[in-house]
C-alpha cells in the first residue's frame, strides 16, 4: 500500500512540464494565420521606413510611409478647396475604374462562355477559332491598345474594349476545355432517361463545365485588373489607373503608390469574393 505513492512520485515531475506548454502551443497555432501576415507587413513597413530614412535615394524616388499616408488622406478628402486628386476622390477614381472593369470583363466573360460552349461541343468551330484565341492570349494588352485608340477614339470605348479583349481568352479556353471534358458517361445517362440534345447541353454540359468556367472567370478578372493601368493610359482621368499615370507625369510618387496599393487591395477583395462565389455556386467541385 505504501509502494503505490512511491511508484507514482517519480512520474509526477515528468508529467508536469507539458501542461503549461501545451496551451501556449495551441494559442500560437491559433494566432499564427493572423500573426504571420501582419508581422510580415509590419516588417515591410519598417524596412521601407529605414530605407527612406537612410537617404540612399531622394524622397521623390522613395517617399517614407508617412508621406504616402498623407497622400492617401489628401486624395481621399477635400483639402484647401481641392477635392481628392484632380477633382475626384480616391474612392470615386476606384469606382469609375471598377465600372470599366465590370463592363469590360463582363462582356469578355459572356463572349468567352458562348465561344467556349460552341468550341467545346462543335469540333470544326474549335479548329476554326482556337488558333486566333491562342494568338490573342499571348498578346500583351498594350500591344493592341494603340490600334483600339485609332479605331475607337479616346473615350470609354477603347478602354472597355481593351478589358473585354483581355478577359475573353481565359474564359473561352477554360470553358472549351471543360466542355470537351464532360464525362461521356453522364451524357449517356441523361440520354438513357430521354433527354434531348438541348436537355443534355442545359442539364449536363453547362453544370459540368461550370467549376472550370468559374476558374476561368477569376483568371479573366485578374487579367482585366492587371490591364487596368494600360487601359487608362490615354485620357484615363477620372480613373485609378489614370490617376497613377497622371501622378507619374509629375513625379508625384506618393500618389502613384497610393494608386498601386488601392488597385492591389481592391483586386484582392474582388478575388476573395469570386472565390467565395465559386464555393457557393459549385459545391460539387471535385466530387463528380
Partner 1 sequence: MSSSETTEAATSADTSRAGSVRLDHVTHRYGRGGETFTAVGPVDLTVPAGEFLVLVGASGCGKSTLLRLIAGFERPTHGSVRVSGAEPRPGEAAGVVFQTPRLFPWRTVRGNIDLALRYAGVERARWPERRAELLARVGLEGTERRRVWEISGGQQQRVAIARALAAENPLLLLDEPFAALDALTRERLQEDVRRMTERTGRTAVFVTHSADEAVFLGSRIVVLTRSPGTVALDLPITLPRGDVDAEELRGSQEFAELRAQVSHAVKAAAAA
CB of 117 to partner 1, least distance (A): 16
Q: Which CB, 39 or 123, lies closer to partner 1? A: 123
Per-residue cell: 182: 464532360
Minimum CB distance to partner 1 smaller for 7 or for 192? 192
In angstroms, rounded to a whole number, what is the distance separating the alpha carbons of residues 107 and 163? 9
The footprint of partner 1 on residues 147-206 (CB under 8 A) is 185-186, 188-195, 199, 203-204
Alpha-carbon gap, residue 57 to 48, rounded angstroms: 12
Q: What is the DSSP letter of 79?
A: E
Distances (CA, A) of 163 to 146, 159, 201: 14, 6, 29
Q: 147 or 189, CB closer to partner 1?
A: 189
Listed in sequence order, the residues at least 6 apart from 42 whose beta carbon sits closer than 8 Å to its beta carbon are: none
Minimal distance in Å, beta carbon 67 to partner 1? 53
Q: What is the dihedral of CA 86, 256, 272, 278, to 10 degrees?
A: 80
CB of 202 to partner 1, least distance (A): 10
Q: How many CB atoms lie within 10 A of CB 164?
A: 21
Sorted by sequence, the CB contacts under 8 Å of residue 111 that are 6+ apart come out as 164, 168, 171, 172
Nearest residue to 227 (alpha-carbon basis) of 175, 170, 164: 164
For partner 1, which stretch binds (CB under 8 A), given 12-20, 61-69, 74-82, 279-287?
279-287
| Nearest-approach distance from CB 276 to partner 1, in angstroms | 18
Q: Min. distance of Cβ 109 from partner 1 in angstroms?
A: 20
CB nearer to partner 1: give 64 or 207: 207
Among positions 206-225, residues that touch partner 1 (CB under 8 A) are 207-208, 210
Helix H or strand E segment including 28:
helix 18-54
Residue 19 CB, nearest distance to partner 1 (Å)?
A: 40
Residue closer to partner 1, measured from CB, 201 or 233: 201
Tell me how far, at minimum, the Cβ of 116 lies from partner 1, in Å. Answer: 18
Q: State which residue, 27 or 281, has the beta carbon closest to partner 1.
A: 281
C-alpha cell at 225: 485588373
From the CB of residue 266, how many other CB atoms can be counted at a distance below 10 Å?
Answer: 18
In terms of CB distance, is 97 or 208 closer to partner 1? 208
Number of residues that bind partner 1 (CB under 8 A): 21
Chain residues in the site for partner 1 (CB under 8 A): 185-186, 188-195, 199, 203-204, 207-208, 210, 282-284, 287-288
Amino acid at each position: 500500500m505504501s509502494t503505490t505513492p512511491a511508484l507514482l512520485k517519480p512520474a509526477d515531475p515528468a508529467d508536469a512540464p507539458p501542461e503549461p506548454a501545451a496551451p501556449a502551443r495551441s494559442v500560437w497555432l491559433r494566432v499564427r494565420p493572423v500573426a504571420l501576415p501582419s508581422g510580415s507587413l509590419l516588417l515591410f513597413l519598417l524596412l521601407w521606413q529605414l530605407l527612406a530614412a537612410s537617404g540612399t535615394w531622394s524622397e521623390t524616388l522613395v517617399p517614407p510611409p508617412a508621406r504616402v499616408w498623407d497622400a492617401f488622406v489628401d486624395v481621399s478628402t477635400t483639402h484647401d478647396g481641392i477635392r481628392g486628386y484632380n477633382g475626384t476622390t480616391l474612392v470615386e477614381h476606384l469606382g469609375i475604374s471598377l465600372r470599366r472593369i465590370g463592363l469590360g470583363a463582363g462582356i469578355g466573360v459572356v463572349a468567352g462562355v458562348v465561344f467556349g460552349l460552341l468550341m467545346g461541343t462543335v469540333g470544326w468551330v474549335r479548329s476554326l477559332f482556337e488558333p486566333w484565341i491562342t494568338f490573342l492570349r499571348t498578346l500583351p494588352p498594350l500591344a493592341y491598345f494603340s490600334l483600339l485608340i485609332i479605331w475607337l477614339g479616346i473615350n470609354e470605348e477603347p478602354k472597355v474594349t481593351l478589358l473585354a479583349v483581355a478577359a475573353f481568352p481565359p474564359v473561352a479556353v477554360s470553358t472549351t476545355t471543360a466542355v470537351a471534358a464532360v464525362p461521356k458517361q453522364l451524357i449517356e445517362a441523361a440520354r438513357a432517361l430521354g433527354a434531348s440534345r438541348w436537355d443534355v447541353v442545359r442539364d449536363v454540359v453547362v453544370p459540368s463545365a461550370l467549376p472550370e468556367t468559374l476558374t476561368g472567370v477569376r483568371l479573366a478578372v485578374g487579367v482585366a485588373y492587371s490591364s487596368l493601368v494600360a487601359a487608362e493610359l490615354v485620357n484615363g482621368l477620372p480613373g485609378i489607373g489614370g490617376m497613377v499615370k497622371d501622378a507619374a507625369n509629375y513625379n508625384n510618387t506618393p500618389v502613384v503608390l497610393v494608386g498601386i496599393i488601392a488597385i492591389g487591395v481592391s483586386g484582392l477583395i474582388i478575388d476573395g469574393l469570386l472565390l467565395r462565389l465559386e464555393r457557393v455556386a459549385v459545391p460539387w467541385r471535385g466530387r463528380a
